[in-house]
Structure 1
Amino acid sequence: MPHPRNARVGSEPQPLNVAGVMSGTSADGVDVAIVRITPGKAAPKLKLLAHKSFPYAKPLRSAVLAAMDAQSISAAEMARLHWRLGEVYAECIAETLAENKLKASLVGVHGQTVYHQGVPEKYLGTPLRCTWQFGEASCLAERLRLPIVSDFRPADMAAGGHAAPLVPMLDYTLFAHAKRNRILQNLGGIANLSAIPAGSDAGKLLAFDTGPANMVVDALMQRLFQKKYDRNGATAKRGIVLQPVVNALMRDAYYAAAPPKSTGREQYGIVFVDKLMKLAGKARSEDIIATATALTAETIAHAYRTFVWPHLGTNAPLATGTDYIAAGGGAKNATLMRMLRERLEPLGITFAAIEDFGLPAEAKEAAAFALLAWLTWHHLPGNVPSATGASRPVILGRITHV
């Protein structure tokens, strides 16, 4: 198997086994995907070789959440968490490779986002955007003895983009279709979608964060039921949606803002959860969970009606239909998926399972960063400017060599 150390960065693309690693805004753990990536005439070809999920240990998850939501945290704590996560990612990759008797040539690690500000705000007299992902790449390089691609987001942000979403490159590579519109919906901590018009090139792709997915529900489940998440949407199923609360929350300016746009825990963290609880008053706990779940469904449906539907109609006049393909932990929430069907199927959307396309829902984002690492290694751009708002295509990430 070719090894990157035997090839120059930016050399002719070659087949490689790449380990992709993702830990999302839900901060529930690490997903590892081992992907065989082969050059193709129009786009690279991907084959998933193995995938494994690793839940964060309770103390580690508490530290990650504290770093995300705290108004202040010591420099020592930030440094320690950054390095500890590097060790954790290395352990997860090594275990996945060993269990499946595989070898990798390259690693792409997204890291744990602890702060993301996609919209410029004035700081020390200058408007700026910023993003920060934890997980020391040198730890991975040393433990695995492999080159590591990390820090994928800053290059897009420096080029004027939101640095999110970055998964659209994988979406277009795997799911673009000559005659069918495709909507790829990720339901992680934050909900984001990629809308690919039938027969279009990547420049016509529309992608953005629609709002919260699991993040708010998870926080409420922990507060009200001392559980990490609503398994299969069972708690929401027992509740009644408090529609006035959903209506009040839908007035937020974010939902009306035109793409490109991105959001995160900064908007949907503790302060937002407190606001929802206050609006709900003395409602039953099950009703509060049902309401938070309905908010996710409504924000996605609003995004489709307001931005996606007009875009697809303009850019794919020959389309014969629209497929909606959900991935991420929220795709396993039967109540959320039912709410989405109720809102979207009357608009002519056909629901499809991502597994039908050979990719488990939990592996998608990790596979995306395997692809982005492969592109970076070969000196190829990985962002989609129409999705992030960047001024140009850029090569993403930094390479840490052994």
Structure 2
Amino acid sequence: MNPYVEKLYGMATQAERVIVGLMSGTSLDGLDIALCRITGSGRRTALQLEHSCTKPYASDFRRQIQDIFAKRTIDQQQLCGLHALIGRTHGALVNEALLGWGVSPEQVDLIASHGQTVFHAPRWLTGDRRFPDSTLQIGDGDHIAVATGIITISDFRQKHVAGGGEGAPLAVYGDSLLFSHETETRLLLNIGGIANFTFLPASTAGGTGFATDVGPGNTLMNQYMQRHLGAEMDRDARVASSGTVNQNLLRALLEHPFFGLPFPKTTGPELFNLEYLHRAQQDSGTAGMENSDVMATLCAFSAAAITAAIQQVLNGNDPKARVYVSGGGLHNPLLMRLIRDGLPATPITAFDALGLLPDAKEAALFALLANETVTGSAAEAYPILGAPTVYMGKISFPG
């Protein structure tokens, strides 16, 4: 028997597995790494976060990804090369993190790698009926496995698409297993480059959970800061807080048909980018605004899209639901204030109230997906609207 297949078989029957989850989102700020100890599977899953960190991307590395990120016309050689380079880089960052934590690779059963999304193409967005829904994440799992010596599971989103989904959001699988509650309806909001949430009705109330993208989170604000102010982000919302929201531009930004699509739905920077902003400014006659006013309006745009989506869900379900927030947007004080102002009757708190660090949540949930790939049963998944019950991920051996 292949020794790695034998090892997989053995870990599937173990009481627990140690899995490193990796997540790099559309914000392109770095690699989130979460070392998790997971027992059980399915509805008997328990996850303990042992260590976590974010390894920032070097500026040159980030620029190389930005050259091909969410663009229809790119250098194919650069795409091909980055697939290998991102894999090697992520593997090196895992080795660095494990060394810092005093954990040897031999103590880790699996790595679960989300990879780096470079293009997301649901057919509703492309309008191209020649092709099915599709999505592309790069950062080759074989390179990660060889660099670390650890069996790696990667490329999770492809099976979701093949099974009839749009490839996102995937957090709903882990959210439903770990955070469903008997009496409390929960809405788990993640504000990364794109904002999305998982809706989990109280199990005693019945109903079906789902996950959906709702629009831009940080992506437009970050893109604008990088292009016009030479900064990676608007730290502490200093620029946006000094500006004034332009209501004409805000209305133009909110006019896209995406916002009227039913849940669940997906989107990405392929839609919400600086070209989208430019068109909205042209349509609303707001070109030439001060940078601070543009940033204030973009922050209001993200908040308005998020609050409108949450209101739409809660009005038809449990109005007493609680909202738990994770992702980089949690650290934007202006964005969080605007969301709370837009949902005055809804309790909103950081995700660590549920026992998991907000910045480690997505990486940890990919570790959980890898656990399900090895030892779970798709039949045990909670009913999730628009989410196929499939095993996700491709397995790469170190040798």
Residue-by-residue CA offset, 1:51-81 (whole Å, 9 max, x unaligned): 1111111111111111114342222111111
Q: State the alpha-carbon separation in 2 of the partners of residues 202 and 119 from structure 1.
A: 32
TM-score (norm 1): 0.90
Residue 133 of structure 1 and its aligned partner are, at CA, apart by: 0.4
1:195/1:308 contact within 8 Å kept: no
Asked if the contact 1:179–1:198 (Cα under 8 Å) also holds between the matched residues in 2, the reply is yes
C-alpha offsets along residues 222-274 of structure 1, whole Å, 9 cap, x if unaligned? 12221110111121111111112111221111011001210011101232132
Q: Does the CA contact (< 8 Å) of 1:153 and 1:396 recur in 2?
A: yes
**Counterpart secondary structure, 2:43:** coil
Q: Which residue of 2 aligns with 1:83?
A: 84
Contact 1:115/1:133 (CA < 8 Å) preserved in 2?
yes
SS in structure 2 at match of 1:54: strand
Q: 3-state SS of the aligned residue for 1:349?
A: coil
Q: Is the 8 A contact 1:156 1:383 kept in 2?
A: no
Partners of 2:183 and 2:204 within 8 A in 1: no
1:206-217 aligned at under 5 Å gives the runs 206-217=210-221
| Superposed displacement of residue 27, structure 1 | 1.2
Identify the residue that residue 260 of structure 1 maps to in structure 2.
264
Structure 1 residue 41 displacement after superposition: 8.2
d(CA) in 2 for partners of 1:298, 1:187 = 13
Instruction: Give the direction of change, closer, same or farther, for the CA distance of 1:383–1:255 in structure 2 (3 Å limit).
Output: farther
How many matched pairs?
A: 388
1:167 is matched with 171
**1:398 corresponds to which of 388, 394, 397:** 394
Q: Note if contact 1:50-1:96 (Cα within 8 Å) is conserved in structure 2.
A: no
1:105-149 C-alpha deviation (Å, 9 max, x unpaired): 1010000001111236565x7341111100011111111111111
Question: What secondary structure sits across from 1:266 in the alignment?
Answer: coil
Matched, 1:386 2:390: no
The range that moved more, 30-39 or 234-243, is 234-243
Q: Which residue does 1:156 correspond to in 2?
A: 160
For structure 1, the residue ranges without an aligned partner over 5 or more in a row are 314-320
Q: 2:245 aligns with which of 241, 245, 257?
A: 241
Q: In the alignment, is residue 283 of structure 1 matched against residue 289 of structure 2?
A: yes
Return the letter of the residue paired with 1:394.
Answer: V
* DSSP 3-state at the match of 1:112: strand
Query: Where in structure 1 do 4 or more consecutive aligned residues deviate above 6 Å?
Result: 382-385
Q: Which moved more, 1:334-343 or 1:373-382?
A: 373-382
Q: CA deviation at 1:40?
A: 6.2
**Offset of 1:352 from its aligned partner?**
1.5
Q: Secondary structure at the match of 1:297?
A: helix
Return 197-206 or 262-271, whichever deviates more.
197-206
Displacement after TM superposition at 1:384 (Å): 6.9
CA offset at residue 398 of structure 1? Answer: 0.7
Query: RMSD across aligned C-alpha pairs, in angstroms?
Result: 2.3
Give, in angstroms, the shift of residue 11 of structure 1: 4.1
1:180 counterpart = 2:181? no
Query: More deviation in 71-80 or 285-294?
Result: 71-80
CA distance in 2, matches of 1:312, 1:263: 26
Change (3 A) 1:299 1:259: same
Paired position in structure 2 for 1:316: none
User: Taking structure 1 as reference, are residues 70 and 204 closer, same or farther at Cα in structure 2, changes over 3 Å only?
Assistant: closer
Q: Distance in 2 between matches of 1:308 and 1:9?
A: 44
The 2-side partners of 1:115 and 1:298 are apart by 25
